[in-house]
Homo-oligomer: A and B are copies of this chain.
Amino acid sequence: MLRLFDYLPSGNGYKVRLLLNLLGQPFELVEKDIVKGETRTPEYLAKNANGRIPLLELEDGTFLPESNAILFYLAEGTPFLPEDRLGRARMLQWMFFEQYSHEPNIAVVRFWMEHGGMTPEREAMLPAKRKGGYAALEVMEKHLAEKDWFAGKGLTIADIALYAYTHVAHEGGFDLSDYPAIRTWLDRVAAQPGYVPITQR
């Protein structure tokens, strides 16, 4: 059986949990508390030298880190990964956008406010993070004002990747009132058969 090393509040981990549930794929959840440093032990670093969750252990003992690479691996051969070349590139475009322009702003502020704690250094970085987060939301809103999904004609792993931290953006103080297309898309994702909330083990 697949084994997922994960931290429940993590949106990066939730991406994988959500896809596995949408696929109806059973898995074993092994929780690691990142705040307590449980992913920086020698034992864990032997599994993932980068010391992060999520980490997927395949049936043969192979370890695969990086949430969006795990999504790609699990989605191959399913409707959640487009079959055409441009569709796959478009999907990856949004997944790299998520890791570069979205997560470091929206997810990081949420982590500070909900789990990691605010410090003077973090307070100083907050305005730039806030600006970057809203800029990412603007790009998403513009796309979703014209299209139902980020790539292809239905839900793909690009939607899952972006959903994870967007649907909890309010926990980082981001206000989605002015983003009606994003809010409609959030409802669209949550209505998928097999959907589970981020709080579900």
Contacts and interface: CB of A to CB of B under 8 A. Distances in A.
Interface of A: 49-50, 58, 62, 64-70, 72-73, 76, 85-86, 88-90, 92-93, 95-97, 99-101, 103-104, 121, 124-125, 128, 138-139, 142-143
Contacts of A90: 64, 69
A92 B104 contact: no
Q: Specify the main secondary structure of chain A where it touches its partner.
A: helix
Number of identical protomers? 2
A96 B124 contact: no
Given A64-B93, A95-B96, 13 more contacts: A49-B138, A49-B139, A50-B139, A58-B86, A62-B86, A64-B89, A65-B97, A66-B92, A72-B92, A76-B85, A99-B100, A100-B100, A124-B124
14 contacts: A49-B142, A49-B143, A50-B139, A58-B86, A62-B86, A64-B86, A65-B97, A69-B90, A69-B92, A69-B95, A73-B86, A76-B88, A104-B104, A121-B124
